[in-house]
Structure 1
Amino acid sequence: MARIWLLVLTGVLLAGQGLAQAPEMVRVPAPEDTASLPLYEDNGAGLADTEIWTDTGTERWARNVSHPTLLPVLPDPEVATGAAVIVVPGGGFQFVSMDNEGYPIAHWLAEQGVAAFVLKYRVMQTPEPEAEFDAHMQRRFAPTPDMTPIDVRPGIPPAVEDAQAALAMVEARAAEWGIDPDRIGMLGFSAGAITTLGTVQAEDGAYRPDFIGYIYGPMTAPTVPETAPPMFVALAADDALFGQQGFGLVEAWQSAGKPVELHFYDSGGHGFGSYRRGNPADGWFDQFLRWMDGRGLREAEADQEPVSR
């Protein structure tokens, strides 16, 4: 069965690869991840651990997450800049794209002197058997007229709450990790971009990011609060989900007098993340770093204490 929803979601169809047969999804063991930190003191005590890891053939997804975690990926002390970024993978609030939009992004940031933290946040429950999950995901990303589309809105509040808890944790342990508490940003992909925007808009949020990267999220105009931080936006024109929505998000930031930089690539599809497929969107990470540098976000402070590892 050619899973068109999966090919579109990962950008294969729209990245010049042509129509392809999607590999079978296979359940795999969760990685042994002793470095991950639980987000909450009880971290879902009393809740069953329902987490499932599924290999799609090109990446692994964590789904049915009920115990959210934060994984620190710290830079070498010799190159540490004091900046930090919480990486928020996407997945339509049905899973967390750990391999494409999580781990590799964090390691890229750490190599460039930025302390990175991969957020595995709570998502909506999906059917356990992979075949049923496949049908469920078609309803989410490529529903036919006879299908009832999945409403993802109930998945947003828990994700935003987890992102706020992640910001609180990083700020509380900033000295321990050699981080400047005024340079803690968020970098969100797709559903992770929605989550990142949610932390900016949260009325009850004591913790908000100092800067954000908004990667292939919805482009409709949001409400921009007075506290909105500088924003970097990356999107491909051939993104099947958001590429034809216009630029309301960017225009709203401009109208509010907030700094924003937009990179609108000719091709790359949706979900280009850490992939390198020979498309213009491949350059987004280097441009994100240049944007950080232009804003002085990677300038190490003279009195910055090196982090102990």
Structure 2
Amino acid sequence: MIMLKAVFAAAACAMLPPVSAVAAAAEPGDYDVRLTRDLVYGRAGIEASRDRPRTRDLLLDVYRPVADGKPLANRPAVIMTFGGAFHRGSKREERFTEDGAQDSSMADYCRTFARSGYVCFSIEYRLTQEDPGLAKSIDEAKLVPKAVNLSPAALARIEIVRQRMGLPPLDDGSREQYWRSILGAADDLAMATGFVRSRARDFGIDADRIALGGFSAGAITALNTAYGIGAPVKAVFALSGGVSGYNLFETVQPGMPPALFFVAQNDLEGIQSGTRIAIAALTAKGIAAEAAWVPGFGHFYPMGAVSLGANVSRIPVETRILAFLEANLGASANE
């Protein structure tokens, strides 16, 4: 924990101004929200290990801010990716509970962002059990070694999730599926980002003001998409997500977008260590990275939980994210 706090302190100095400086202007807003469900943003391969792999549609939900009965135009946007150990989760209302705490769903986050003037997209992506295929070959030098990602320590949490889902323990085949799901999720989010940018006018967004965010596996996916694949976005926030899949020390380049990281006080050790690695990889290339921790919680926490960050700031998770978005996507969403 001491090491984690030291990294957070160093990371907080890398971004000026800290989000706490604009937090007072970033409280959730009061726009109405218009929801459109299940738009197809692309197709991708599944059942890759079978003789005849196939593809399936990938879907997203759109939350648009509305004033006087009309959706706003030229708005900043957020694309959200759910968590669930690359095995479970939903782009809608699903919430997880553990140790008496419940997290917020992707729908909860998107409604909050849309009420504050951001167009928010919640996407689905291919999960391990679908046996995802990869659309292209990936340079192994850009990846964390597979043995590290698939080590017993790294897979311990996955085994717990599989047990809760009634799935058998990992074997050689399902380990490979899990590995491909990490990389495939980033491919899917990159595809969704391209889709959103290509239809910016239809969605009422500014294609040059897009942020990626997510929780746990979704946070890892946001980091992989922005800093591993290099999707053209302006900001990234990671709710309890670290490094897995892409080796950010090899892929991060100067000029990439700033990041905001959250880790809970009693979070999973892999999340804590992965966050330290991600922050180090970004700051080594001069990328602004700010970090906050969520006291009193384990891996799951609601967006209204207090977060502690730079300049002794003490604000809810949702408010800190809104302040970060406002600071890095240009104009205020509430203008």
Aligned counterpart, 2:15: none
1:156 CA displacement:
1.4
Distance 1:138 1:242 in 2: 12
Higher strand share: 2
Aligned counterpart, 1:167: 193
1:91 CA displacement:
0.9
Compared with structure 1, are the counterparts of its residues 259 and 301 closer, same or farther at alpha carbon in structure 2 (3 Å cutoff)? same
1:69 CA displacement:
0.6
Aligned counterpart, 2:159: 139
The 5 Å alignment of 1:196-207 reads 196-203=222-229, 207=231
1:34 CA displacement:
6.8
1:244 CA displacement:
4.2
Gaps of 5+ in 1: 1-32, 48-64, 127-135, 303-309
1:189 CA displacement:
0.9
1:77 CA displacement:
4.1
Q: Which has the higher contact order (CA 8 A, sep 6+)?
A: 2
- 1:98-154 deviation line (CA, Å, top 9, x unaligned): 32331111111100100000001111117xxxxxxxxx98724498xxx65864322
1:218 CA displacement:
2.1
Aligned counterpart, 2:238: 214
Q: What letter matches 1:82 in structure 2?
A: R
Compared with structure 1, are the counterparts of its residues 258 and 273 closer, same or farther at alpha carbon in structure 2 (3 Å cutoff)? same
Distance 2:259 2:243 in 1: 13
Aligned counterpart, 2:40: 38
Q: Does 1:86 align with 2:79?
A: yes
- Of residues 276, 289, 298 in structure 2, which corresponds to 1:260? 289
3-state DSSP of counterpart to 1:167: helix
Distance 1:263 1:45 in 2: 37
Aligned counterpart, 2:328: 295
1:280 CA displacement:
4.7
TM value normalised by structure 2: 0.61
Compared with structure 1, are the counterparts of its residues 263 and 142 closer, same or farther at alpha carbon in structure 2 (3 Å cutoff)? farther
Compared with structure 1, are the counterparts of its residues 300 and 294 closer, same or farther at alpha carbon in structure 2 (3 Å cutoff)? closer
- 1:145-189 deviation line (CA, Å, top 9, x unaligned): xx6586432211221111011101111111222211110111111
Aligned counterpart, 2:263: 235
1:279 CA displacement:
5.7
Compared with structure 1, are the counterparts of its residues 35 and 164 closer, same or farther at alpha carbon in structure 2 (3 Å cutoff)? same
Higher helix share: 2
The 5 Å alignment of 1:26-105 reads 35-40=37-42, 43=43, 66-77=56-67, 80=72, 82-98=75-91, 99=93, 100=95, 101-105=105-109
TM value normalised by structure 1: 0.65
Aligned counterpart, 1:176: 202
1:297 CA displacement:
3.5
Distance 1:66 1:92 in 2: 21
Distance 1:210 1:296 in 2: 6
- Of residues 174, 187, 193 in structure 1, which corresponds to 2:219? 193
1:250 CA displacement:
1.5
When the two chains are superposed, the root-mean-square deviation of aligned CA atoms in Å is 3.6
1:226 CA displacement:
3.1
Distance 1:209 1:138 in 2: 30
> Aligned residue pairs: how many?
237
Aligned counterpart, 1:21: none
- 1:228-281 deviation line (CA, Å, top 9, x unaligned): 21111111120124454272222222221111110022222113254x5x6658
Aligned partners of 1:200 and 1:227 also within 8 Å: no
1:211 CA displacement:
0.8
Query: Identity of paired residues, percent?
Result: 23
Compared with structure 1, are the counterparts of its residues 270 and 142 closer, same or farther at alpha carbon in structure 2 (3 Å cutoff)? farther
Aligned partners of 1:237 and 1:244 also within 8 Å: no
Q: What letter matches 2:233 in structure 1?
A: P
Compared with structure 1, are the counterparts of its residues 45 and 235 closer, same or farther at alpha carbon in structure 2 (3 Å cutoff)? closer
